[in-house]
């Protein structure tokens, strides 16, 4: 994917703050600290466009980024952070549900799972929720650099089994540190746009 330009648009909490611009979008969701913001930076070849941190629960708003003036990438707030109060957990559910049900141009949702760990009950619920709202769901198994090559298949199989994924369901494993899996994820995103009838230019990145 050739990134001609990308910009941060807005950190939104309520629906009225969502960008009005009528372009398709792809959202990322997952546990707090799983690597959503890092993945956005990796996909866009930027170090600090999306804020990352070692403190879980950092991103609590919906952050919209505009790519090549053609589509949005959307960083959704993370779930599963034990220290947040019950009321903020409920608020989280409301924020996500409002988002998922109100974006006509939402093409697909990418759910991140840490490749090292078995998906949690909340991960399973989230995946089911994505399907329930009519998306295929793309699983991005992150932090691939943290496990040995010989262990990959075992971890991927556990994720597929725990989420009850079918053969056709897509899982891309990747690392935001060494960038493995990046082009495959862009291709997967390009396919999702195509399937929904959007003509987005996913050009092959130039080899440097």
Positions in the binding site for ligand GTP (CB under 6 A): 30, 32-38, 52-54, 56-59, 78, 142-143, 145-146, 175-177
Choose the contact partner of 21 out of Mg ion, ligand GTP, none; CB within 5 to 8 A by kind.
none
What number of chain residues touch Mg ion (CB under 5 A)?
A: 3
In whole angstroms, the minimum distance from the beta carbon of 167 to ligand GTP comes to 26
- DSSP H helices, the chain, are 36-43, 86-102, 121-132, 152-162, 182-195
> How far apart, in whole angstroms, are the C-alpha atoms of residue 21 and residue 111?
24
Interacting residue with Mg ion among 33, 37, 176, 188 (CB under 5 A): 37
Residue number with CB closer to ligand GTP (24 or 57): 57
Which span sits near Mg ion by CB under 5 A: 13-21, 54-62, 86-94, 199-207? 54-62
In whole angstroms, the minimum distance from the beta carbon of 3 to Mg ion comes to 19
CB atoms under 10 Å from CB of 188, counted, come to 19
In whole angstroms, the minimum distance from the beta carbon of 108 to ligand GTP comes to 18
DSSP per residue over 4-35, as a string?
A: S-EEEEEEESSGGGS------EEEEEEBTTSS
User: For the chain, what is the radius of gyration of the CA atoms?
Assistant: 16
Q: In the block, which residue shows the tokens 């998306």?
A: 135
Residue 59 in the binding site for Mg ion (CB under 5 A): yes
> How far apart, in whole angstroms, are the C-alpha atoms of residue 68 and residue 107?
17
- Secondary structure (3-state) at 104: coil
In whole angstroms, the minimum distance from the beta carbon of 32 to ligand GTP comes to 4
In whole angstroms, the minimum distance from the beta carbon of 143 to ligand GTP comes to 4
Choose the contact partner of 143 out of Mg ion, ligand GTP, none; CB within 5 to 8 A by kind.
ligand GTP
């Amino acid at each position: 994917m050739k990134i001609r330009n990308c910009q941060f648009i807005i950190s939104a909490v309520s629906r009225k703050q969502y960008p009005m611009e009528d372009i398709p979008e792809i959202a990322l969701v997952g546990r707090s600290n799983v690597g959503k913001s890092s993945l956005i930076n990796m996909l866009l070849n930027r170090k600090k466009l999306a804020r990352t941190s070692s403190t879980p629960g950092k991103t609590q708003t919906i952050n919209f980024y505009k790519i090549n003036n053609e589509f949005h990438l959307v960083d959704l707030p993370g779930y599963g952070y034990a220290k947040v109060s019950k009321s903020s957990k409920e608020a989280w559910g409301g924020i996500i549900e409002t988002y998922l049900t109100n974006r006509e141009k939402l093409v697909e949702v990418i759910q991140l799972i840490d490749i090292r760990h078995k998906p949690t009950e909340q991960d399973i619920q989230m995946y089911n929720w994505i399907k329930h709202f009519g998306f295929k769901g793309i699983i991005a198994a992150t932090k691939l650099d943290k496990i040995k090559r010989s262990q990959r298949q075992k971890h991927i199989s556990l994720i597929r089994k725990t989420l009850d994924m079918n053969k056709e369901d897509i899982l891309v494993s990747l690392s935001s540190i060494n960038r493995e899996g990046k082009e495959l994820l862009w291709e997967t995103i390009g396919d999702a746009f195509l399937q929904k009838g959007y003509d987005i230019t996913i050009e092959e990145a130039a080899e440097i």
